[in-house]
Amino acid sequence: MKPSFSIITIQFQSQSSTMGIRFSSFRSNLTGSTLGELPESCVASIIGYMDPPQICQLATLNRAFRAASSADFVWESKLPPNYHLLLAKIFHHFPINLGKRDIYASLCRLNTIDDGTKKVWIDRATGKLCLAISANKGLSVLGVDDRRYWNYIITEESRFNTVAYLQHTWWFEVDGEVDFPFPAGTYSLFFRIHLGQAYKRFGRRVCNTEHVHGWDKKPVRFQLWTSDGQYVASQCFLKGTGNWTFYHAGDFTVEDGNSSTKVKFSMTQIDCTHTKGGLCLDSAFIYPSEFKKSKSFLNCS
């Protein structure tokens, strides 16, 4: 027999395609004993429609909701379909007896892979996979070891605590490659760039633009290739100083999440009629393409 929901009032609110729950309706229509009498399976079925942050909030209501919020089948639906492959790729030794909620929490952390050159995590609210590749050893930067042109700068503004700073060059070229079992879906690749060098002065953040030049003369060219034959190219001018900007390099689609996808990408400005400089290169990011609408920091050009 299906449980009757006449004893409770649950009001779902749809805002920006996200299902929410109004906690006041619980408090005004339910007593503590009534909540405790709800079958755990019934509660679990309800909260299975919520997103992970809401499930964690509901877990604080009482013992029944706390127990239901730990149910494996609730969190199984939130995990990426190929999470077993992700665990094998990210963790060398992962406990096999962990519940699905703990697995979800582990994947939400900033997990470091490939000798510290990459970080991978799933977004807490959506369960979608994200990946970052450091400019320090993770990307191939032409001439980066020549201190006449490039320097590494330690900063708290990077997930990797280090960025590559270009003073000046004639030939600007950055290449990258990643081979990873991305869950099926469409992804966007970005370069995180800062024109000018940020630093702290008397506790305030300031930007040194002394070396910024050349980026307004010719556009930067972005290219992206995948192992299954996808290719995209675009170009734009780098502009603005003082803020980190995500420049969109291109999109790619993963059809089969049960196999690894190799992605190669590049960013170049090789017109040798002029020099360019004053650029901080943090890393390359791969995000689900829908984040371009939902994440305000992706202020890509």
Query: What integer is the mean pLDDT of 204-231?
Result: 95
pLDDT at position 10: 37
Lowest mean pLDDT among 58-67, 211-220, 253-262: 58-67
- For the entire predicted model, the pTM comes to 0.83
> Mean pLDDT, to the nearest integer, of 248-268?
96
Q: Whats the size of the chain, residue-wise? A: 301
- Distance in angstroms (rounded) separating the CA atoms of residues 29 and 21: 14
- Among all chains, which residue has been given the structure tokens 């010719």? 218
pLDDT, tens digit (0-9, with 9 covering 90-100), for 152-190: 999 999 999 999 999 999 999 999 999 999 999 999 999
Across 43-52, 69-78, 229-238, the highest mean pLDDT is recorded for 229-238
Residues 43-50, mean pLDDT to the nearest whole number? 70
How far is 75 from 77, CA to CA, in rounded Å? 5
Q: Give percent above pLDDT 90 in the chain.
A: 66
| Strands 118-122 vs 111-113: parallel, antiparallel or unpaired | antiparallel
| pLDDT in the model for residue 75 | 86
Structure tokens at 264: 């190669």
Annotate 273-288 with b (16+ C-beta within 10 A) or e (fewer): eebbbbbbbbbbbbbb
- What's the pLDDT at 203? 87
CA-nearest of 51, 66, 63 to 21 is: 51
Q: Return the percentage of the chain with pLDDT > 70, whole number.
A: 84
Average pLDDT over residues 251-255: 97
Helices (H), 49-205: 52-58, 63-68, 72-76, 83-90, 100-108
Beta bridge partners, 173, equal 268
The per-residue pLDDT for 44 is 67
Measure the CA–CA gap between 117 and 133, rounded to whole angstroms: 6
Q: At 121, which helix (H) or strand (E)?
A: strand 118-122
Q: Is the pLDDT of residue 246 over 80?
A: yes
- Of 1-5, 49-53, 261-265, the one with minimum mean pLDDT is 1-5
Tokens of residue 132, six digits = 């970052």
Domains of the chain (ranges; CATH) run 40-76 (no CATH), 113-298 (2.60.120.260)
What pLDDT sits at residue 296? Answer: 87
Summarize pLDDT for 91-123 with one digit per residue, the tens.
988 887 889 999 999 999 999 999 999 999 999
